[in-house]
Structure 1
Amino acid sequence: MKKLIAFALLWASFSASAQTLFHYGKDSVSVNEFLKAYQKNNTGVRTEKAFMEYLDLYIASRLKIAEARSKGYDTLPQIVSDLESLRQQILPSYLTDKESTQKLVREAFTRAQKEIHLAHIFIAAKGSDTLDALKTIAELQAELKKGKPFAELAQKYSDDPSAKTNGGDIGFITVFNLPYELENLAYTTPVGKVSKLYRSRAGYHIFKNLGERKAIGRMKAAEILLAFPPEANDSAKTAVKKLADSLYNRILKGDDFGKLAAQFSNDIVSAASNGQMQEFGTGDYDPVFEKTVFALSKDGDVTPPFTTPYGYHIVKRIGKIAIPSQPTATALAEMQAKVEQSDRINTTKSLLAKKIMKDARFKKAAFENTQLWAYSDSVFNHQSPKTALHLTNASVLFTVGKQNVTVNDWINYAQNFRFRADGSGIKPYAQVMDEFIDASALDYYQRHLEDYNEEFRQQINEFRDGNLFFEIMQREVWGPAQNDSAALVSYYNAHKNKYNWKQSADAVIFYANDLTSATELSTELKKDPAQWRTLVSERSEKIAADSSRFELEQLPNPSHLSLTPGTITAPLVNKSDNTASFAYILKYYPQAEPRNFADAKGLVITDYQAQLEKDWLDKLKKKYPVVMNQKALEELKRNKKY
């Protein structure tokens, strides 16, 4: 019974949000649509009165936007251009599958908790799968099965030059150190085991997991690098060692590490910053370098000189940063930024493409791949086909949504993307076709994103409606209210009794960035008030001034001084931003008196604008009759949705 009641309440809630709140002309607004706008835009008090006032403003805005559309303002070149600019600006954030991205973030966070000691055998792919490469791989796999030491096989077979000396041992790696496809291979290989053979675009890879450890964190350090000269002999290396030992002894005796780095280090980048390096972690530098530096036990410790293939290093620990062990919001946000900048984000685009193909009902046309490859060879390689071709440039290869993708589209794409990015040759047609299908799906998605993503559609609609609102307000209200001088004078003459000065004064109001600046200016001003323009000019970065006639209630006067000519009021501090203001009185008007048109113009514009808008809105309500769903409105008020 309880489940039935809960379901009924849920259904009632859904029905309420889905129902119409009001109609205007031929259009309508749902309860849910209005509530989203209200919750987003109403940042003031949340009372029933404020709720109803916002509803009136919202209805008025819908009528104005409807009128803008009826006048064709949505087709104005500037409106169209602005909308397209926004579209292109926000599109990238929608071109990855958010669920897949979050999965990658969680995966990367988990992987960051440990580091893997890895050995690697690499067999280069020379063009396509050559017989030599396949023969080498077959021999290597046979010897692995016999239990031959991995290091020996790396020295014998690996095309990585360093394997000759390190037996394929590339040290510890962690997340983001390797291309994502190889990182996956490393993190799925158990400790002590050899991975399966993996084919990348560069060649063939086999890993051995030599061991794992908890992540050791990241290091901030300063370095003095004394590089070996090119083709240095033993004598040259000995000279470098003597200099390294000499510098180390000077550091132990108290010499400034930063100054020595700036003077002697051959690492130009870090030397310019007194030796301070970019923060680094596992897998970023030579394994010997990392092992030595991470062995420093506390901040300020300095390594004795040690060598890597680059030369002698002396490193000072500045600080160590632990890898976050808990997936806090901050930690996940930082990890997401890294994920989005890495190559793994491309996998989310591929997943999104597959999802689009399903949603848009991707359908392949009836053609044979061999026919398309032969057609492509005839275009790219000027080869005469050996059999008759039944394809033409206009032949349809597949459809995505309502879009036909033709042979001509394929040729244009393949012409630009059939070559490998590393310059190693041409991709197989089948690979290019897979990429072409994904690219076509993503292109279709971009051009029809409003149909597939509600959040994007709402963002675009809000921007479009906002532009239409401002455009029609400028034409119907704001422009006429500001520029129709005859109408303004006429309105003023008809309403003169509204525009009167209360007690007032000709005054200068000084606006200061802070109380100190206001006090200093006030002190100087009292010495020679006539020089107020010069004093403000000398302090233009901190002080602004406005000289005009003001009613007394508009003047800052916290001490309630009698405002006679020559009075300088005390500074008044604005508590919201700590700015301060004070006034210098030039002339006092004790009696109320009528304002002339020049004095009243600002008020006249405001009132005339309000009158124009009211009259216009009355016409719009007749053109687009508003019919409120009173039942839905009362339900919103009863449930205090405001």
Structure 2
Amino acid sequence: MKKLLTVFCVLGFFSAPAQTLFTYGKNAVSADEFLRAFQKNNTGAKDEKAMREYLDLYISSRLKVAEAKAKKLDTLPQLKSDLANLRQQILPGYLSDKESLDGLIKEAFAHEQKDLHVAHIFIAFTKNNVTDTVAAAKKRDEVLSALAKGLSFSEAAKQYSDDPSAKNNDGNLGWITAFTLPYELESVVYATPVGKTSAVYMSKAGYHIFKILGERKALGRMKAAQILLAFPPGADEAYKAALKKRSDSLYNRILAGDDFGKLATAFSNDVISAASAGQMQEFGVGEYSPVFETTVFALPKDGAVSKPFLTEHGYHIVKRIKLLPVPAKLNAQASDELRNKIESSDRAAVTKKILAQKILKQAGYKSLLASNNELWAYTDSVLNFTKPSVKLTINPATPVFSLGNRTPTVKDWAEFAQTHRYRANGATKIYPQLWNEFVQAAALQYYEDHMEDYNADFKQQINEFADGNLFFEIMQRQVWTPAQTDSVALLNYYQKHKGNYVWKQSADAVLFYANNAASADEFYKKLKAAPAAWRTTVSNYAEQITSDSGRFELTQIPKGKEELLAAGTVTMPVVNKADNTASFAYVLKLHNGEEPRSFADAKGMVINDYQATLEKAWVAELKKKYPVEINEKEWKKIVNSK
């Protein structure tokens, strides 16, 4: 990962049709391509000097990658494996249709702006593990007829709904908001006007009819803490009365100033929140029972505590910590939060379905079967071990459709049907539904395998990573390894340039680095008291303090502006305000004046300088192999546009 992040500062490889800025050999780079890389990676000045410096660096990087490809380094097994692994890691983020995802974000934001009070009648296809769609349709018609004749929605729900709770709540679901219901049902609810009854909606589970009882501005989300005195199974009225008395007592203690969190930890039966001083997971409308939500959202301000109130679970005392209103504008943060919600919800299937339809169209989907009836008969014979009901002219190798360069076969279909034929509740899917799922899965798999042909952002990310790896591989071979391992060449370089390696005013010292200012201050006091025992002292701070001893130029030694250095000096900690780390030093000996550095002392500097020399000579050779020509006219346009 470090390699990839570093190379992004050098590379920005993605071709776009535009005016050519420069060529190298037979390769051309557009002005748009260069600007994209410059704007992405340059965080400093934007003037002509900075742009020209970046252009030189950019051209150099392109030459190196071109040479790496010429040497066929892109065929190295490790680089190919790295690329394949990255491809699999980033693929999930591209398996949705961007246009439809943006639409879902806008829709979810609109739904989040208001809460709806909803009633519901549900007619199930399956009862007692027996599926009977005919009986369900008959019951649906009975409900519609009763409503048309004037039966109230609440009475119809109590009489007909297969939702067990409807017998007690008359089908009243309470208030809901975006993401409360499955997306397909939410869409029906938000499309229905207040006071009206929705059209019948058929889901995989059965028929749904909704009525919108009310509408209000969204309440938002709540952070709260609770004390729950829960009813155990089979609790009698005497036990419930005792809990009521205890809840009143706890409430009075809170009013008298007792700590809510401590009481929650000691008495609450909600073991999850009790372990966190009563603090619950943040929640919104439609997640808890109507009584609970109504009471909590009615608390007037942060810090307010409810009187004990009763739900089906027991007695609750709730403290409002913070009310989080819904965003009023669809800004970047709100958009990102909604995108995350959508991608982890059932809405994600919508974007995949839309994407699959686009791929089917773009890749030229074509059915190769004259009729699906023969395929259904064949599938029955394979999955249910029955004799085919019609004469079969197909076999496992018969292609069923074409998609791009793919032609799935009857065998592929049968294997898919075998694996995906059952719903979560155990019911069997009908073949047309299975077929649609099979085709969609094939389209999405085709999209995955040909992502670079369909998604420019994905192609850019893959190309950047691939070229980045090539850049590092060839730099390792041509520059870094030779400069670090050729001891003879390094010594010769040192001898020729010895005058460049001089100690300026310096000192033998120990530098200390603390991961926080408090540790630095504590350690500094102990070091100041016994500097000669620094090794023993630092060993007691293994997690907080690190040290580095050696010879350092005075400019490298951390100290205050007014501090003077002398043998035995312990400098004051210098705190980095950005991360609260601190550094300071213990000076052992001062070296006045300039002195030549030995090869051992200068080796790190020699390696860096020798690397730069090797790289400069190599780039010069590359420019001869891949002649560089800059379109100065286009360059002036770029510079003048800044």
Structure 2 length as normaliser, TM-score? 0.89
> For 1:212, what is the secondary structure of its paired residue?
strand
Cα deviation code 1:516-543 (max 9, x no counterpart): 7667766655654432333433445454
Residues 1:151 and 1:376: Cα distance change in structure 2 (over 3 Å): same
Residues 1:490 and 1:294: Cα distance change in structure 2 (over 3 Å): closer
Partner of 2:432: 430
Partner of 1:10: none
Conserved? CA contact 1:305–1:314, under 8 Å = yes
Of 202-211 and 553-562, the range deviating more from structure 2: 553-562
| 2:605 counterpart (580, 603, 608) | 603
Are 2:421 and 1:418 aligned? yes
How far 1:17 sits from its partner (Å)? 7.1
Partner of 1:175: 178
How far 1:499 sits from its partner (Å)? 3.5
Partner of 1:116: 116
Partner of 1:83: 83
Between the aligned partners of 1:91 and 1:187, the Cα distance in structure 2 is: 33
Question: Which residue identity lines up with residue 176 of structure 2 in the other structure?
Answer: I
Between the aligned partners of 1:600 and 1:524, the Cα distance in structure 2 is: 34
How far 1:613 sits from its partner (Å)? 1.4
Residues 1:634 and 1:281: Cα distance change in structure 2 (over 3 Å): closer
Of 286-295 and 573-582, the range deviating more from structure 2: 573-582
Are 2:67 and 1:67 aligned? yes
Cα deviation code 1:35-77 (max 9, x no counterpart): 1111112222223222222211111111111111122211222
> For 2:400, what is the secondary structure of its paired residue?
strand
Cα deviation code 1:417-449 (max 9, x no counterpart): 1211233x1111111111111111111111111
Conserved? CA contact 2:136–2:206, under 8 Å = no
> For 1:405, what is the secondary structure of its paired residue?
coil
> For 2:178, what is the secondary structure of its paired residue?
coil
| 1:362 counterpart (362, 365, 377) | 365
Partner of 1:338: 341
Structure 1 length as normaliser, TM-score? 0.89
Partner of 2:290: 287
How far 1:253 sits from its partner (Å)? 5.3
Partner of 1:616: 618
How far 1:470 sits from its partner (Å)? 0.6
Of 457-466 and 493-502, the range deviating more from structure 2: 493-502
Conserved? CA contact 1:17–1:31, under 8 Å = no
Conserved? CA contact 1:222–1:315, under 8 Å = yes
| 1:444 counterpart (427, 446, 462) | 446
Conserved? CA contact 1:114–1:212, under 8 Å = yes
Of 259-268 and 208-217, the range deviating more from structure 2: 259-268
| 1:350 counterpart (350, 353, 356) | 353
Between the aligned partners of 1:210 and 1:182, the Cα distance in structure 2 is: 16
How far 1:478 sits from its partner (Å)? 0.3
Partner of 2:51: 51
Question: Which residue identity lines up with residue 370 of structure 2 in the other structure?
Answer: F
Between the aligned partners of 1:521 and 1:268, the Cα distance in structure 2 is: 42
Residues 1:124 and 1:28: Cα distance change in structure 2 (over 3 Å): same
Between the aligned partners of 2:521 and 2:288, the Cα distance in structure 1 is: 58
Residues 1:169 and 1:509: Cα distance change in structure 2 (over 3 Å): closer
Partner of 1:264: 267
> For 1:396, what is the secondary structure of its paired residue?
coil
Between the aligned partners of 2:578 and 2:245, the Cα distance in structure 1 is: 64
Residues 1:136 and 1:459: Cα distance change in structure 2 (over 3 Å): same
Conserved? CA contact 1:22–1:627, under 8 Å = yes
Are 2:177 and 1:156 aligned? no
Cα deviation code 1:218-276 (max 9, x no counterpart): 33333333333323444444444444445445555555544443343332223333433
How far 1:142 sits from its partner (Å)? 1.9
Question: Which residue identity lines up with residue 414 of structure 2 in the other structure?
Answer: I
Structure 1 unmatched ranges of 5 or more: 1-15
> For 2:163, what is the secondary structure of its paired residue?
coil
Question: Which residue identity lines up with residue 119 of structure 2 in the other structure?
Answer: A
Residues 1:569 and 1:402: Cα distance change in structure 2 (over 3 Å): same
Cα deviation code 1:496-527 (max 9, x no counterpart): 44434445443334445577766776665565
What do you get for the CA RMSD once the two structures are aligned?
A: 2.9
Conserved? CA contact 1:559–1:570, under 8 Å = no
How far 1:98 sits from its partner (Å)? 1.9
Partner of 2:494: 492
Question: Which residue identity lines up with residue 93 of structure 2 in the other structure?
Answer: S
| 1:547 counterpart (546, 549, 554) | 549
Of 369-378 and 496-505, the range deviating more from structure 2: 496-505
Between the aligned partners of 1:307 and 1:575, the Cα distance in structure 2 is: 52
Between the aligned partners of 2:477 and 2:556, the Cα distance in structure 1 is: 32
Between the aligned partners of 1:158 and 1:575, the Cα distance in structure 2 is: 64
Cα deviation code 1:557-597 (max 9, x no counterpart): 66688866445566666677676555544444445444332
Residues 1:560 and 1:215: Cα distance change in structure 2 (over 3 Å): closer
Between the aligned partners of 1:582 and 1:168, the Cα distance in structure 2 is: 71
Question: Which residue identity lines up with residue 626 of structure 2 in the other structure?
Answer: Y
> For 2:193, what is the secondary structure of its paired residue?
coil
Cα deviation code 1:319-349 (max 9, x no counterpart): 4333333334333333333222221121111
Between the aligned partners of 2:600 and 2:641, the Cα distance in structure 1 is: 48
Conserved? CA contact 1:559–1:569, under 8 Å = no
How far 1:457 sits from its partner (Å)? 0.8
Residues 1:559 and 1:146: Cα distance change in structure 2 (over 3 Å): closer
Residues 1:56 and 1:128: Cα distance change in structure 2 (over 3 Å): same
Partner of 1:385: 388
How far 1:603 sits from its partner (Å)? 2.2
Q: Tell me the number of residue pairs that the alignment of Structure 1 and Structure 2 aligns.
A: 624
Residues 1:608 and 1:110: Cα distance change in structure 2 (over 3 Å): same
How far 1:629 sits from its partner (Å)? 2.4
Residues 1:545 and 1:291: Cα distance change in structure 2 (over 3 Å): closer
Partner of 2:19: 19
Between the aligned partners of 1:560 and 1:239, the Cα distance in structure 2 is: 72
How far 1:197 sits from its partner (Å)? 1.4
Question: Which residue identity lines up with residue 275 of structure 1 in the other structure?
Answer: G
Between the aligned partners of 1:576 and 1:220, the Cα distance in structure 2 is: 31
